[in-house]
Structure 1
Amino acid sequence: MSSSLYAERPPGAAPGRQVACVWVRRNAAGPAYGQLVVPDGCVDLVWSAAGLEVVGPDRAPRTVPVPGGAELAGVRFRPGAAGLLLGAMPARELCDLQVPLAEVAGAGVAERLAERLAERRAEGLVERGGEWGGEQRAGVRGPAEVAAVLDAFVASRVPGWAPDRVVERAVAALGRPEGVRLPDLAAELGLSERQLRRRVTDAVGYGPKTLHAVLRFRRAVAWARSDGRGGAGGAVPGLAEVAARAGYADQAHLTREVRRWSGVSPTVLLGRAAGRPGQAPPAAS
C-alpha cells in the first residue's frame, strides 16, 4: 500500500447504544511515527501485533509510537458502556492503561477469541464492498475480518450484561453543550451528589465534571473540523464561534481547555489527527 488507511463504521452485531464504532487501520510501510492520543472517555478493545488489548480512558494527552506497516482493528465503547466488556471491573481501574484482554475478561475468554480470530483470518473471507468506506485495496481484508470477529464477540456478551440506565442518562446530560449543575443532575436522577460521582467514575473512569469537560472538548474539535469541510461556503469557523457553540465562556476558555486536553494550541490540534489508537496518523509537518 502506498498510503495508510483508517476507516470506521457503526457496529453490525454489537449494540450501537453501547458501541460507538468498529474500526480498522493499516499503516503504510515506513518509519514509526508518534500518534497524538487525547482523552475521549472511551474504552477500546484493540487487536494488533501485540495481541488483544484493552485501552482504558485517558486523563491526559499522550503520544504513542506507531510502527510502519502495522495493522490494527478495534471496537470503541461509548463513555460509560465499557461494562459490556469489563464486567464488574470499574473503568477507573483502567485509566491511562493498555492491558491484555486476559487481565480484564479472563484467560479463557481471551484464548477463545484469539482462536476465532486465527480461524477467520485463515479462512480468507472478503468483506462486502463499501463496508469500510469503499476501500478494497490489497491488505485491507485482514483487519476487516478481525473487526468483524471483535464486533460479534462484543455482541455475544450482551445477554449477560445489564446496562446502568442511570449512568446512560447522566452521560447524555453531561454531553450537552449547556452547563450542568451536579446537584440538579443528581436530584433529577434520584441520587446524592456522592452517589452520582461514584457511579459515573466507576462506569467512565473519571467523574462527572471531568467527563463534561472532555466531551465538550471533543465536540468542539469535531465541530471545527466538520464545519471546515462542509460548512456554508466551506469556510472554517472562527474559534470564538466554535467556543460559543460548544458551550465555552469565550475563546480564551476554549484555548485553555484545548491545551489541557491535547497539549497543543487549537490551531495546531486542528492540523493534526488526534484520537484513539485506531485513528489516522498526523499530517506531515
Structure 2
Amino acid sequence: MGERYEERKSRFHGAIVWTLQVAHGPVRPVLPDGCMDLLWIGDRLLVAGPDTHAYEPSEVAGERFTGIRFAPGTAPALLGVPAHELRDQQVDLADLWPGAQIRVLAERIAAATDPAAALEAVALRRAAETGPPDPLMRSVAVQLAQGRSVAATADTVGLGARQLHRRALAAFGYGPKTLARVLRLQRALALVGSGMPYADAALAAGCTDQAHLAREMRELAGTTLTAYFAASANSETAQPSGSRTTA
C-alpha cells in the first residue's frame, strides 16, 4: 500500500483534522472508533457516521482525502441529526443541510489553498450557530475511554440504564456497551502499536485475556491483530483506524 497520512489537532474541541494521499493500491480498513467524520473528497462534502464494524474502502489510487474526525458524542449537535440515523453510513452533507448552502461551502473549499483549514472553518462556523454537545454524553465517552464500566459510568452521570441507552444512541450511534467495546479495542490497538505484547495489551485495555481481545478484533474489525499491523507496516505513514475514505 502507498498511503501518506497527516493529522493535527483541530480548534474544534477534541477533533482531529486529517489528510490522506493514496499513491497506489487499496486503503487499509477503517475500524470502529466511536467517532464521526466530516469529509471533503473530490468536490463532495460527506459525513461518515459511527461504524459498528470495519469499513472496507475501494481502491482509490491517486486520491486525496481531507477530514475532520469529531470526538465521540460531539458531531450530532453540529450536524443536526442523531448519530444512530447515520450508523454504518456515509452520506452527502447535502442530505442533511440545504443544498444551496452546500454549494457555497463546496466552492469555498475547492478554491482554498488549504482545503483542510477550509473544512475546519466550516465546522467552526457551524458550531458557533448550533448548541453544544450533550455534556453528560461527553462525560460518558471520556469515562468509557478511560476503561470505566458502563454501570459505574451510569451512576456517575446519574442516569438509569434505559435513559443512558436512549441518549447514547443519539450521541454515539449505539448503546454504551457497544461504545465501551469499541473504545476498549482502540485502547488495545494503541498499546500494541506502542510495542506492548498482545497478552499484556489485552489486560491493560480491559479484556479478560488475549483470546478475548482476539475475538473482539474479529467481531469489530473483521481481521486479526497480526494481519492489521502487518498492513500498517506497509503504509508509508501509519494511518489511524478512524480515518475515513470512500470511493
TM value normalised by structure 2: 0.89
What letter corresponds to residue 97 of structure 1 in structure 2? Q
- Residues 18 and 243 in structure 2, CA contact (< 8 A), matched pair in contact too: no
Question: Alpha-carbon deviation of 1:25?
Answer: 1.5
d(CA) in 1 for partners of 2:139, 2:86:
22
- Residues 37 and 244 in structure 2, CA contact (< 8 A), matched pair in contact too: no
Q: What is aligned with 2:236?
A: none
Question: Alpha-carbon deviation of 1:85?
Answer: 2.9
- Residues 68 and 120 in structure 2, CA contact (< 8 A), matched pair in contact too: yes
Say whether 1:150 aligns with 2:147. Answer: no
Q: What is aligned with 1:99?
A: 91
2:214 aligns with one of 245, 250, 255: 255
Q: What is aligned with 2:5?
A: 6
CA deviation profile, 1:220-250 (whole Å, cap 9, x unmatched): 101111x22xxxxxxxx22111011111111
Question: Alpha-carbon deviation of 1:118?
Answer: 2.7
CA deviation profile, 1:164-185 (whole Å, cap 9, x unmatched): 111011111111224x142x43
d(CA) in 2 for partners of 1:35, 1:185:
33
- Residues 47 and 72 in structure 1, CA contact (< 8 A), matched pair in contact too: yes
Number of aligned residue pairs: 236
Q: What is aligned with 1:212?
A: 180
Q: 1:92 to 1:194 in 2, by over 3 A?
A: same
Q: What is aligned with 2:51?
A: 58
Question: Alpha-carbon deviation of 1:34?
Answer: 4.8
Say whether 1:42 aligns with 2:35. Answer: yes
- Residues 69 and 243 in structure 2, CA contact (< 8 A), matched pair in contact too: no
d(CA) in 1 for partners of 2:54, 2:3:
23
Q: Which runs of 5+ in 1 are unaligned?
A: 126-144, 229-236, 280-285
1:69-88 paired onto structure 2 within 5 Å: 69-87=62-80
What letter corresponds to residue 202 of structure 2 in structure 1? A
Question: Alpha-carbon deviation of 1:119?
Answer: 2.7
TM value normalised by structure 1: 0.78
1:175 aligns with one of 145, 152, 167: 145
Query: Which of structures 1 and 2 has the larger relative contact order (alpha carbons within 8 angstroms, sep 6+)?
Result: 2
Q: Could you say what the CA RMSD is over the residues aligned between the two structures, in angstroms?
A: 1.8
What letter corresponds to residue 203 of structure 1 in structure 2? A
Q: What is aligned with 1:203?
A: 171
Say whether 1:26 aligns with 2:18. Answer: no
Say whether 1:191 aligns with 2:191. Answer: no
Identity %: 37
Q: Which runs of 5+ in 2 are unaligned?
A: 233-239
- Residues 68 and 119 in structure 2, CA contact (< 8 A), matched pair in contact too: yes
d(CA) in 1 for partners of 2:231, 2:63:
20
Q: What is aligned with 1:234?
A: none
Question: Alpha-carbon deviation of 1:198?
Answer: 0.7
d(CA) in 2 for partners of 1:85, 1:66:
30
Question: Alpha-carbon deviation of 1:275?
Answer: 2.0
Say whether 1:241 aligns with 2:197. Answer: no
What letter corresponds to residue 265 of structure 1 in structure 2? T
- Residues 84 and 157 in structure 1, CA contact (< 8 A), matched pair in contact too: no
Name the SS of the counterpart of 2:68 in structure 1: strand
d(CA) in 2 for partners of 1:278, 1:38:
9
